Amino acid sequence: MALSRAASASRAALLKPLAAGFLTSAPSPLRRPISTDTTPITIETSVPFTSHRCEPPCRSVETTPQELVSFFQDMAKMRRMEIAADSLYKAKLIRGFCHLYDGQEAVAIGMEAAITKKDCIITAYRDHCIFVGRGGTLLEVFAELMGRRDGCSRGKGGSMHFYKKEAGFYGGHGIVGAQIPLGCGLAFAQKYSKDENVTFAMYGDGAANQGQLFEALNMAALWDLPAILVCENNHYGMGTAEWRASKSPAYYKRGDYVPGLKVDGMDALAVKQACKFAKEHALKNGPIILEMDTYRYHGHSMSDPGSTYRTRDEISGVRQERDPVERIRKLLMSLELATEKELKDIEKQVRKEVDEAIAQAKESPMPDPSELFTNVYVKGLGAESFGADRKEVRTVLP
């Protein structure tokens, strides 16, 4: 990139020799403190927010260099993870369904920056990165994708069913739109226990036309629940463009009596600002809808090439102009918070972490066959299983 080359050339003279831990895993002598610098800086979001029935938050976002570097690191990790999952799927180590999130990382990252682990997140099946944002490890991700015991759901869920109870991540749901009423239920429980937490119920533009969304929205509004409905609008519901599926693709306005905010979902700082605003709003005034204008580079799932309903030019255009990782990279370099080399080192480190996690996950064994019957009910079902000769091999499973 011309910008970065020019910048780094001109910055060569500005390098101050300072030792500071840069990469979180291995200390290395570096020039200036970046990742631990917490002096606040203010950055303007790419576009202003558009609002429906509320005052939009201001465009200037408070952040710190440490936060920006962590954004870059985490998004690079998510990006690398999804691309690795793509290769694993093609190598048939991951089977079944795999819905990749690359392109949409800013939504997961920005949201985490604005909330705590006591707030709940519930989403649909494109959940790998949300899980990582909530604190999931790469090993848990890859093991679950490959159906191994060390996976977050013990290998029984697969790609679409990641959960993390301690971090308030309620998953990972296959049926489109079904998670939204669940999210409103979570919000009710939070309101009841008066602990000032909120729930982010995420869904896509395809699910925006499900009846249960409106049922849940009505209940949330009627009872002033601290529920934030986040529509991750990547403009395609599987293969159907939003204008073909929805009379009104302005999803942030669909709540009618519920206020809404449209956010540039490729700008992690805008997402952070919007989620912070939404949390404050929900605790005071009840539900709000956030529409994240985002994009996915892969197809709907691994069986979708993603190019039959949109042009390759469109995909590469978005990648060039709005890529969330690139945006943070450019920001870091233009603010002289990191050099190109340092960022590349982060990416190399991330790649190494991902490869190690995959290797470790491959070692993990498959779940025990008896696990087929566990957790159907609280203590499992008194089911019988028999082998080829009925009379000989007959076991009663837990």
| Comparison of 313 and 389: residue with beta carbon closer to another protein | 389
User: Considering CB under 8 A, how many residues would be counted as binding another protein?
Assistant: 44
Q: Are 95 and 372 in contact (CB under 8 A)?
A: no
Is 389 among the residues that bind another protein (CB under 8 A)? yes
Window contacting another protein (CB under 8 A); options: 20-28, 53-61, 150-158, 352-360: 150-158
| Comparison of 222 and 381: residue with beta carbon closer to another protein | 381
Angle at 234 between CA 230 and CA 236, to 5 degrees: 120
Please select the residue that binds another protein; options are 19, 38, 58, 96, rule is CB under 8 A: 96
At its nearest, how many Å lie between another protein and the CB of residue 377? 10
Q: Which two tokens stand for residue 140?
A: 């848990």
| Comparison of 21 and 239: residue with beta carbon closer to another protein | 239
Query: Binding string to another protein for residues 189 to 228, with x set by CB under 8 A, is what?
Result: -----------------xx-xxxx----------------
Q: Calculate the CA 294 to chain-centre distance.
A: 12
The whole-angstrom separation of Cα 305 and Cα 365 is 31
Q: Is the dihedral of CA 64, 36, 169, 198 positive or negative?
A: negative
| Comparison of 40 and 369: residue with beta carbon closer to another protein | 369
| Comparison of 110 and 306: residue with beta carbon closer to another protein | 306
Q: Which two tokens stand for residue 215?
A: 């049922």
At its nearest, how many Å lie between another protein and the CB of residue 302? 11
Residue 21 φ/ψ region, left for φ over 0, alpha for ψ in the -120 to 50 degree band, beta for the rest: beta
Is 3 among the residues that bind another protein (CB under 8 A)? no
Is 302 among the residues that bind another protein (CB under 8 A)? no
The whole-angstrom separation of Cα 292 and Cα 288 is 13
Q: Which of residues 349-368 bind another protein (CB under 8 A)?
A: 366-367
Q: Could you please report the per-residue DSSP string of 111-138? A: HHHHS-TTSEEE--S--HHHHHHTT--H
Cα radius of gyration rounded to whole Å, the chain: 22
Is 168 among the residues that bind another protein (CB under 8 A)? no
Q: Are 46 and 103 in contact (CB under 8 A)?
A: no
Q: Which of residues 310-329 bind another protein (CB under 8 A)?
A: none
Q: Which two tokens stand for residue 395?
A: 């076991």
> Rule CB under 8 A: which residues touch another protein?
95-97, 147, 155-158, 160-161, 174-177, 206-207, 209-212, 237-240, 244-246, 308, 366-367, 369, 371-373, 376, 381, 383, 385-391
